[in-house]
A = this chain, B = another copy of it.
Amino acid sequence: MTISLTEENYIKAIFYKSNSNNIGVSTNSLSNHLKNKASSVTDMLKKLADKKLIRYKKYKGVLLTLKGEKIAINIIRKHRLWEVFLMEKLNFSWDQVHDIAEQLEHIKSEELIKRLDSFLGKPTLDPHGDPIPDEKGKFNETKSIPLNECKILKEIIFIGVKNHTISFLKYLTSIGLGIGDKFKIEAINDFDNSYQIKVKKNNLVFISNDLASNILIKIKNE
């Protein structure tokens, strides 16, 4: 069975919109995410259901089948491996890689991905700190928490972001924060739950609670 580029993008969107609870993804949320009209989404959902890639009941939203999930995870694996390639080998900055990886993820060749994976040293995290599933589709879960759930003044490792917008990524770069960096929480302001952190020898940086909720961290030595 062949799966078109468009179908792949729908499958990926459904995967991203799926919550761990088994509630179907709504037509509208896919419509927003894919920037297509809801009616177009409905059409495609019928097609994907025919192919047994999703379970779809009219008006009830949609869930991936095992087959569909496998495909989604494989696309994500390809996307993230290419992102690693673009940053590590071609020295792109992390806010530049997404659009290119969005294209590369659709290249069809299992052998290519296998070799790319080896070439990159079988990485388990992409440049945004997101886990890269292995050949079997298994995610190496690195338990991270958003910075705003950390209420103690400790040494922190920055391991990922929740918000992937380019402006956010650029902002982090501008304050000297990159994946893997260590920083220290110097103060937590209880009036607005904002943070003051110190990255390396840089000055103190002020982080709003909202911002902090999009920064994924691990507490050092835990």
Binding site for B on A (CB under 8 A): 86, 89-92, 96, 99-100, 103-104, 107-109, 111-112, 115-116, 119
Contact = CB atoms under 8 A, between A and B. Distances in A.
A103 B108 contact: yes
A115 to B, nearest CB: 4
A100 to B, nearest CB: 5
Nearest to A103: B107
A107 B108 CA distance: 13
A90 B107 contact: no
B100 A115 contact: no
Nearest to A106: B103
A109 B109 CA distance: 21
Contact of A100 (B99, B100, B112, B119): B112
A107 B100 contact: yes
Contacts of A86: 112
A67 to B, nearest CB: 23
A116 B86 CA distance: 9
A96 B119 CA distance: 17
A155 to B, nearest CB: 35
A83 to B, nearest CB: 12
A111 B100 CA distance: 10
A119 B90 contact: yes
A135 to B, nearest CB: 16
A109 B100 contact: yes
Contacts of A109: 99-100, 103
Contact of A90 (B90, B91, B99, B112): B112
Sort A-B residue pairs by CB-CB distance and give the 5 closest, nearest first. Answer: A90-B115, A103-B107, A100-B109, A100-B112, A90-B119
